[in-house]
Amino acid sequence: IRWSDRPQDFRTEVLGLVKAQQVKNAVIVPVGAKGGFVPKLMPKNPTRDQFMAEGIATYKLFIGTLLDITDNYAPDGTVIAPENVVRHEGDDPYLVVAADKGTATFSDIANGLAIEHGYWLGDAFASGGSVGYDHKAMGITAKGAWLSVRRHFLEMGVDVQSEPVRVAGCGDMSGDVFGNGMLLSKALKVVAAFDHRHIFLDPDPDPATSWEERARMFALPRSSWDDYDKGLISVGGGVFPRSMKAIPLSAQVQAMLGLDVPEIDPDSLITAILRAQVDLMWFGGIGTYVKASTQNNVDVGDPSNDSVRVSADEVRAKVIGEGANLGTTQAARIEFSLHGGRINTDFIDNSAGVDCSDNEVNIKIALAAAKRSGKLTEDARVDLLVSMTDDVAHLVLEDNRLQALALSIAERGGAAAMPSWSRLIDVLEEGGDLDRKTEGLAGTEDLARRAAAGQGLTRPELAVLLSSSKLVLQRELEESTVVDDPVLEEELVAAFPPQMREAFETEIVHHRLRREIIAT
pLDDT for 133 beyond 90: yes
Q: How many domains does the chain have?
A: 1
Using 50, 70 and 90 to split pLDDT, how confident is the model at 186? very high
CA distance 428 to 291: 26
Q: Report the length, in residues, of the chain.
A: 520
pLDDT at 364 over 80: yes
pLDDT of 423: 97
**What are 298-337's pLDDT values in tens digits?**
999 899 999 999 999 999 999 999 999 999 999 999 999 9
Is the predicted pLDDT of residue 499 greater than 80, yes or no? yes
Strand partners, 311: 291
Write the CA distances from 177 to 82, 270, 271, 303, 400, integer angstroms.
38, 20, 21, 23, 15
Look at 37-41, 102-106, 247-251, 351-355 and tell me which has the smallest mean pLDDT. 102-106
Taking the whole predicted model, whether its pTM rises above 0.85 is answered as: yes
Domain region containing 160 = 156-341
Enzyme catalytic residues: 34
Does the residue 352 lie in any domain? Answer: no
**Cα of 390 vs its chain's centroid, Å:** 20
CATH code where residue 193 lies: 3.40.50.720
Average pLDDT on 285-295 reads 96
End-to-end CA distance of the chain: 23
pLDDT number for residue 437: 87
CA distance 188 to 284: 16
Identify the band that residue 170 occupies on the pLDDT scale cut at 50, 70 and 90: very high
Closest CA to 310 of 323, 325, 297, 298: 297
CA–CA distance, 158 with 165 (Å, rounded to integer) = 9
pLDDT in tens, 55-81: 999 999 999 999 999 999 998 889 999
Least trusted range by pLDDT, from 96-110, 219-233, 479-493: 96-110
| Contact assessment for residue 174 and residue 200, using Cβ atoms and an 8 Å cutoff | no
Looking at residue 427, its amino acid is: V
Contact 289, 308 (CB under 8 A): yes
Please report the pLDDT score of residue 398 as a whole number.
Answer: 97
Q: Can you tell me whether residue 264 is helix, strand or coil?
A: strand
Top-ranked range on mean pLDDT: pick from 75-79, 134-138, 259-263: 259-263
Contact present, 167 and 189 (Cβ < 8 Å): yes
Q: pLDDT tier at 20 (50, 70, 90 boundaries)?
A: confident
- Does residue 32 register a pLDDT over 80? no
What integer pLDDT is reported at residue 100 of this predicted model? 86
pLDDT in tens, 386-441: 999 999 999 999 999 999 999 999 999 999 999 999 999 999 999 999 999 888 89
Instruction: Tell me the β-bridge partners of 188.
Output: 165
Helix 389-412 / helix 459-478 crossing angle, nearest 10 deg: 120
| Residue 468 to residue 432: CA distance in whole angstroms | 11
Cα–Cα distances (Å) from 479 to 23, 32, 348, 381, in that order, read 20, 18, 26, 33
pLDDT for 22 equals 82
So what's the pLDDT on residue 278? Answer: 99
In a domain, 237, yes or no: yes
Backbone angles phi, psi at 319, to 5 degrees: -135, 140
Contact 329, 85 (CB under 8 A): no
Distance CA 280, CA 170 (A): 11
Output the pLDDT for position 374: 96
Query: With contact defined as beta carbons under 8 Å apart, do 378 and 54 qualify?
Result: no
Flag whether 20 is in a domain: no
Does 503 score more than 90 pLDDT? yes
Per-residue model confidence as pLDDT tens digits over 204-250: 999 999 999 999 999 999 999 999 999 999 999 999 999 999 999 99
Q: What percent of the chain has pLDDT over 70?
A: 100
Give the pLDDT band (50/70/90) at residue 19.
confident
**CA 378, CA 130: separation in Å to the nearest integer?**
14
**221 located within any domain:** yes
